[in-house]
């Protein structure tokens, strides 16, 4: 089910979506990997690695990346369907 979102909004529902979202955000800002890497004080190859494997960075670094892209992060609660409330979660 697709949510009706504003045009400037990306919905992140799984970690697997993050690489594509990061690349899309960078391209929307019309930045090359080299330009964004310079903003972050890292090399272009490191940024390429982060775009492919964002799980390799800390949450603080990911927030720095979003800030460099001019992106704000909004966390909101969604309604929980009754059949999901007591569902077992993955391993922590």
- What is the domain-level CATH number for residue 52? 1.10.260.40
Residue 89 forms part of a structural domain: no
Q: Which tokens hold the place of 23?
A: 């690349």
Q: From the CB of residue 30, how many other CB atoms can be counted at a distance below 10 Å?
A: 7
Specify the higher pLDDT residue, 19 or 11: 19
Specify the higher pLDDT residue, 6 or 17: 17
Mean pLDDT computed over 12-30: 93
Q: What is the pLDDT of residues 76-87, one digit of tens each?
A: 888 877 666 666
Percent of the chain beyond pLDDT 70? 80
Q: How far apart are CA 22 and CA 20, in angstroms?
A: 6
Q: What is the pLDDT of residue 46?
A: 97
Q: What is the pTM of this model?
A: 0.76
**Can you give the residue range of the structural domain that contains 41?**
15-68
User: Could you tell me which residues come within 8 angstroms of residue 79 by beta carbon, excluding any fewer than 6 positions away?
Assistant: none
Q: Which tokens hold the place of 56?
A: 């390799």
Q: From the CB of residue 82, how many other CB atoms can be counted at a distance below 10 Å?
A: 6
């Amino acid at each position: 089910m697709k949510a009706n979102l504003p045009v400037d909004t990306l919905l992140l529902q799984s970690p697997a979506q993050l690489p594509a979202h990061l690349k899309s955000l960078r391209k929307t800002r019309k930045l090359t990997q080299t330009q964004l890497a310079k903003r972050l004080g890292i090399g272009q190859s490191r940024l390429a690695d982060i775009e492919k494997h964002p799980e390799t960075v800390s949450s603080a670094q990911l927030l720095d990346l979003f800030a460099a892209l001019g992106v704000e992060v909004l966390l909101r609660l969604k309604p929980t369907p009754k059949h999901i409330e007591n569902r077992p979660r993955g391993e922590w």
